[in-house]
Amino acid sequence: MKLFKKISLLITLFICFESKSQNISDYDFENFLNTPKFLSQYGFFKDLKNQIPVEDVHPYSLKSALFSDETDKLRFVYVPKGEKIGYVKNKVFIFPVGSVLIKTFAYLNKNGPMAAELLETRLLINTNDGWEAISYVWNEDQTDAKRAIAGATIPTRFINSSGEIINIRYRAPNQNQCKECHQLKKVMTPIGPKARNMNKIVQYKNGEMNQLVYWAALGWINENLGSASISNYADVNALLEDRARAYLDINCGHCHIPGGSADTTGLYLNYTERGKEQIGIYKKPVAAGRASGNLKYSIVPGHPSDSILLYRMKSLDPGIMMPESGRALSDETGIELISDWIDKL
């Protein structure tokens, strides 16, 4: 009888503990101290494997997204109840303390008969001490993701946009590598969620809606921000100039921007930069070394093969390639786009 009572007590405690670990409200993200070992413990998803979020977590999407070895990105955001998101033109939205940005990298393999695979889920948590980056790598059974402070290498394969099977060693970054890109004036910051890159229709559980209108309906932002919209660089019907600048902005502009990790190069590839030399036209490299390929300028109008920018995009050499992390493949679509753009400058 005593043994039965002890077992019953243990089961009760276990259920209580599990229940507690499944509620977002149980976490003080403002003073975030004890990082969960598993992604499931946060309670962000009611169906973790299928990435179906709970009521207070909302999906979002970008018009132009980072290449990242052709991975699909499943993005979600949590904002504390009653809080608003700040807006400054051409800047990342200013999320209130306690907010969490959730991004799962996956190969959904929609172009062929191969099962979807979740690779890693990255969290950006806005604490009282600033943004904190945490990465979780998915197990083989796709039932949960475990914290990976040192990162991880995931041998896998996927079906690309042309229907080909590609073998790859996908690399989840270590915690320090996140700072390489998510840094502005030496402060950790989000990259993608700017109003200009979010003016698009998104599928929600109750139907389709422009996501800026959706955020306004949630009370997060004002409905009329007056923000211009960036192009989707994959949209062949958009202007070539707009597509190329959108591509460089999302793939390069988070580092190549005043105050970014590549500030000292003087090469600024953010969308709002208008200086011809700053975006690379007849700009000599500061200290590229062998990474220049013995070429003279970042961009030579009309001559893609003479442009350092394109040379480094094509390379897979760790000492030459750009971006220098976050990819193991060349972005053939991006290379073609930037080559066409340089050719017509």
Q: How confident is the model at residue 17 (pLDDT cuts 50, 70, 90)?
A: very low
**Structure tokens belonging to residue 109:** 């393999």
Q: How confident is the model at residue 14 (pLDDT cuts 50, 70, 90)?
A: very low
Is residue 10 scored above 70 in pLDDT? no
CA distances from 165 to 114, 140, 212, 288 (A): 9, 19, 36, 34
Q: How confident is the model at residue 23 (pLDDT cuts 50, 70, 90)?
A: confident
- For residues 279-291, give the mean pLDDT: 88
Q: How confident is the model at residue 288 (pLDDT cuts 50, 70, 90)?
A: low
First to last CA, the chain: 84
pTM, 2 dp: 0.88
Give percent of the chain with pLDDT exceeding 90: 69
pLDDT of residue 7: 31
Closest by CA to 96, choosing from 87, 105, 85, is: 85
pLDDT of residue 168: 95
* Pairing between β-strand 45-47 and β-strand 165-172 as defined by DSSP bridges: unpaired
Is residue 345 scored above 90 in pLDDT? yes
pLDDT, tens digit (0-9, with 9 covering 90-100), for 43-76: 999 999 999 999 999 999 999 989 999 999 999 9
**Structure tokens belonging to residue 15:** 């259920």
pLDDT, tens digit (0-9, with 9 covering 90-100), for 145-190: 999 998 899 999 999 988 899 999 999 987 776 666 677 777 788 9
Is the separation of the CB atoms in 284 and 264 below 8 Å? no
pLDDT of residue 15: 31
pLDDT of residue 226: 75
Cα distance between residue 20 and residue 7, in whole Å: 20
